[in-house]
């Protein structure tokens, strides 16, 4: 979103979007700080009827405390191997033990 642009109070149903936001270096600084302007933009987008999801290489366990407070609709984590929406894990792909064997990490 460009500086100074405003989201409508409520998007018409056919104008609602899914907003995917990169976390490190985009939503938060490289030092891990969440700017107030970023949190406000997420909240305004949700208030306008859009669904907002961070998309990150992080696992859910690696997300900082502000993650639950900001009010996302879910998340796409672990480089896409974990997807959550409305508090429900809708996709969760784990590495098979045989992959560890092929990598020489297990005997």
3-state secondary structure 73-92: CEEEEHHHCEEEECCEEEEE
Q: How confident is the model at residue 1 (pLDDT cuts 50, 70, 90)?
A: very low
pTM for the model: 0.77
Specify the DSSP class assigned to residue 104: T
Rounded to an integer, the average pLDDT of 60-79 is: 92
Percent of the chain exceeding pLDDT 70 equals 91
**How far apart are alpha carbons 26 and 22 in whole angstroms?**
6
Residue 7 reports pLDDT greater than 60? no
User: What's the mean pLDDT when you consider all of the chain?
Assistant: 88
Can you give the pLDDT at residue 6?
A: 54
Model confidence at 55, in pLDDT bands (50, 70, 90)?
Answer: very high
Q: How confident is the model at residue 9 (pLDDT cuts 50, 70, 90)?
A: low
């Amino acid at each position: 979103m460009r500086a100074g642009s405003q989201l409508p109070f409520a998007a018409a149903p056919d104008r609602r979007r899914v907003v995917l936001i990169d976390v490190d270096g985009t939503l938060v600084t490289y030092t891990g700080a969440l700017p107030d302007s970023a949190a406000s933009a997420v909240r305004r987008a949700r208030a306008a009827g859009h669904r907002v999801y961070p998309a990150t290489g992080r696992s859910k366990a690696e997300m900082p405390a502000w993650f639950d407070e900001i009010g996302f609709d879910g998340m796409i984590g672990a480089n896409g191997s974990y997807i959550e929406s409305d508090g429900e894990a809708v996709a969760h792909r784990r590495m098979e033990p045989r992959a560890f064997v092929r990598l020489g990490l297990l005997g």
